[in-house]
Amino acid sequence: MKIVIQRVSEASVSIEGNRVAEIGKGLLILVGIVNEDTQEDINWLCNKIINLRIFPDENGVMNTSLKASKGDVILVSQFTLHASTKKGNRPSYIKAAKPDVAIPLYEKFKERLQDVLEKPIQTGMFGADMKVRLLNDGPVTIIIDSKNRD
């Protein structure tokens, strides 16, 4: 599982002109899933997300976690995170899990993240053509691959 975390002052997701998710201060998290991903990947990433100290403390130093800052989350599925660009100019998405594998893992990821954050999170819609707006705060953008945790 690969994620891109963006610390935001605000973010929203719209589908066909309808806003389906909107937050103020928090994280916009893009998630890409491969066939090999498991509950272990989900658990590790969720723990990392809520404890990653990327919010400013009282001195303006990035030393506060999402959980401590009480920030919100929008979770958006994005199979293009697993694009291969080794050959030619058209990316290949062969590594990305098909919906029958990816959707259940995405839902488990959402549920687990809500559980560890102890509050609801907002989402886009799996497989939809989404318009994502964000005001990146910092900017702070972090990429984490659960397969590179050792």
Catalytic-role residue among 6, 55, 78, 123: 78
Backbone angles phi, psi at 17, to 5 degrees: 80, -5
**Residue found under tokens 């309808």:** 18
Catalytic residue (one of 79, 109, 122, 123): 79
Catalytic residue among 38, 55, 64, 80: 80
Judge whether 109 counts as a catalytic residue: no
Active site residue 55: no
| φ, ψ for residue 81, nearest 5 deg | -65, -20
Catalytic residue set: 78-80
